[in-house]
């Protein structure tokens, strides 16, 4: 071998040895420094004190893989709060060049047993050891983060309230920008009603000083939610929508659809759908609705209010103001009655709605306080409608036009106008100032209707245009003339005390003479 060739070989060999030596030195430096780099970067990024039980580095050139156990980050060093981040085990993969770049690049990060506890805004300590951390690190970009069975909690400082908690079955985050924001795909399990939520969106950039102000936005799909877990109702709900805001306050716009919604006590399935705009308090899950538009059959109800937890009470209370100007009485009765609706017609409704948490069926926990106005209602029962028609004819002094019970109902049956106030408490509907009018008569009633048994007990009076003797014919009319003065109103017409009792489908109508005697004594 010539001296020239030997020289070249020595030079190449020396370069190779030098390159290997550099790699070894870099590997040693990276192995020794990676732990410190990681801990210092997390301290700066999350303004937290870092604890890490074990940290291992392997370098299958040109890759670098790091593993760690029991990673805990205490926000601003606070030991009296749950850890900001806790990870049972993590695995990180990148390249050697990714760690040496000005903007460090981590290709892949897997987190096992991830828990994130976002502290409320007031828990921040101004001037703490991390509030003015020296910015000695350049940006770090993470290509992909995956996690299984993670838990996200947004803590609250409201006394007596539990934090809002999400169980995230699967989470995948990817970096698509230089500002620290991450795109995500998440699959969550909703506990009540049980169902699966799939959400995509953007999370971040992380706010290290006030984590609860970290922005989040995205879309969601919620399917196959079984409402049967709530006592008294049933149906399979689906929902979709979008949201945006920060972790402690999120605005949500969406829709729900429950094609087979029913109150189990009644059993009639109805197609119930809603369109809503709401604000969710991310610290405790309290939700403020403004407004919700609900469609039931041909009816539209508009509600606004809140779904809030109360100190010392498990669960949340629903408090709403409900208005209906485009509704049908038969749609509402299908929710409450096991039998077919007894009336049909347009209704205007206004009520306060309060649903307390608990294990009783919803009708027994629901409280209502409102008023209604039925402008033109018809009774669906032929027998009942015929009684109303006959009552109208007698009240007008036209007893000869009364239809016999054996005859069929005419198409031009009498429409009834009805209005009143109502209160629902513990499954009993109390009616007051109940007025309904038909041609020739005005009726004033008050009393109760029991939802479970579907029975009524209403008492009041009817004012008729005709005298008592004019409501019938023949011998009855002759003898009733003797009673005209007793039941007349100022010498004209008739005032009779009446009662309506029994099951709503087959009510009993009669005179309440005892009530009349009590009024005259």
Structure tokens at 505: 């489908």
Q: In this structure, is residue 363 part of a structural domain? A: no
Q: In this structure, is residue 149 part of a structural domain? A: yes
Q: In this structure, is residue 311 part of a structural domain? A: no
- Low-confidence residues of the chain, pLDDT below 50? 8-26, 29, 123-138, 411, 516-521
Q: List the Cα angle 169/172/173 in 5-degree steps.
A: 140
Whole-angstrom Cα distance, residue 34 to residue 49? 17
Which of 171, 196, 225 represents a domain boundary (last residue)? Answer: 225
SS3 category, 420: strand
pLDDT at 184: 93
Q: In this structure, is residue 466 part of a structural domain? A: yes
Q: Model confidence over 13-42: pLDDT tens digits? A: 444 444 444 444 445 545 555 666 666 767
Q: In this structure, is residue 2 part of a structural domain? A: no
- Decide if 71 contacts 43 (C-beta within 8 A): no
Range of the domain at 464: 381-520
Structure tokens at 25: 């030195």
Helix (H) or strand (E) holding 32: helix 3-46
Q: What is the DSSP string of 292-336?
A: EEEEETTEEEEEEEEEEE-TT-SSEEEEEEEEEEEEEHHHHHHHH
Number of domains into which the chain is organized: 2
Which of 225, 248, 272 represents a domain boundary (last residue)? Answer: 225
Helix (H) or strand (E) holding 182: strand 182-190
SS3 category, 142: strand
pLDDT at 446: 92
The radius of gyration of the chain from alpha carbons, rounded to an integer in Å, stands at 37
Q: Model confidence over 434-476: pLDDT tens digits? A: 888 888 888 899 999 888 888 889 999 889 888 888 888 888 8
Q: In this structure, is residue 296 part of a structural domain? A: no
Q: What is the tally of helices (H) and strands (E) in the chain?
A: 8, 26
Q: In this structure, is residue 275 part of a structural domain? A: no
Which of 179, 194, 225 represents a domain boundary (last residue)? Answer: 225
Q: In this structure, is residue 44 part of a structural domain? A: yes
The DSSP call for residue 357 is -
pLDDT at 371: 94
pLDDT at 320: 93
pLDDT at 98: 60
SS3 category, 96: helix
The CA distances from residue 421 to 346, 378, 427, in Å, are 17, 20, 16
């Amino acid at each position: 071998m010539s001296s020239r060739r030997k020289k070249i070989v020595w030079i190449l060999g020396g370069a190779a040895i030098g390159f290997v030596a550099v790699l070894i030195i870099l590997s040693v430096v990276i192995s020794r420094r990676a732990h410190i780099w990681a801990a210092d970067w997390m301290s700066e990024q999350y303004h937290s004190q870092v604890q890490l039980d074990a940290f291992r580095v392997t370098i299958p050139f040109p890759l670098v893989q790091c593993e760690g156990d029991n990673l805990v980050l205490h926000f601003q060093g606070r030991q009296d709060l749950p850890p900001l981040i806790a990870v049972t085990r993590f695995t990180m993969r990148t390249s050697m060049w990714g760690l040496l770049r000005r903007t460090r690049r981590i290709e892949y990060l897997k987190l096992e047993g991830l828990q994130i506890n976002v502290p409320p805004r007031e828990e921040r300590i101004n001037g703490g050891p991390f509030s003015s951390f020296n910015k000695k690190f350049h940006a770090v970009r993470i290509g992909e983060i995956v996690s299984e069975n993670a838990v996200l909690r947004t803590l609250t400082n409201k006394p007596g309230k539990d934090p809002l908690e999400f169980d995230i079955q699967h989470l995948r985050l990817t970096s698509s920008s230089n500002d620290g924001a991450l795109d995500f795909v998440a699959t969550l399990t909703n506990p009540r009603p049980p169902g699966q939520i799939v959400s995509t969106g953007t999370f971040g950039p992380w706010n290290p000083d006030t984590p609860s102000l970290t922005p989040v936005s995205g879309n969601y799909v919620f399917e196959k939610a079984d409402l049967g877990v709530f006592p008294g109702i049933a149906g399979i709900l689906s929902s979709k929508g979008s949201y945006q805001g920060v972790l402690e306050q999120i605005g949500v716009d969406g829709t729900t659809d429950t094609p087979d919604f029913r109150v189990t006590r009644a059993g009639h399935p109805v197609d119930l759908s809603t369109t809503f705009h709401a604000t969710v308090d991310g610290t405790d899950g309290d939700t403020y609705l403004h407004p919700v538009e609900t469609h039931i059959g041909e009816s539209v109800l508009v509600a606004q209010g809140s779904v809030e937890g109360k100190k010392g009470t498990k669960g949340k209370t629903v408090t709403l103001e409900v208005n209906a100007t485009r509704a049908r009485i038969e749609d509402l009765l299908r929710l409450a009655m096991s039998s077919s609706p007894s009336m049909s017609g347009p209704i205007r409704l206004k009520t306060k709605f309060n649903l307390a948490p608990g294990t009783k069926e919803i009708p027994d926990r629901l409280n209502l306080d409102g008023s209604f106005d039925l402008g033109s209602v018809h009774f669906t029962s032929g027998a009942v409608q015929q009684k109303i028609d006959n009552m109208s004819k007698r009240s007008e002094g036209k007893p000869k036009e009364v239809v016999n019970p054996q005859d069929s109902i005419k198409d031009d049956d009498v429409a009834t106008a009805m209005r009143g106030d109502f209160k629902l408490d513990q499954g009993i509907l109390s009616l007051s100032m109940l007025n309904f009018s038909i041609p020739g008569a005005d009726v004033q009633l008050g009393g109760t209707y029991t939802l479970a048994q579907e029975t009524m007990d209403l008492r009041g009076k009817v004012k008729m245009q005709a005298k008592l003797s004019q409501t019938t014919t023949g011998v009855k009319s002759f003898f009733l003339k003797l009673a005209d003065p007793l039941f007349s109103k100022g010498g004209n017409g008739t005032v009779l005390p009446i009662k309506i009792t029994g099951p709503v489908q087959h009510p009993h109508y009669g005179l309440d003479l005892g009530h009349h005697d009590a009024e005259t004594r």
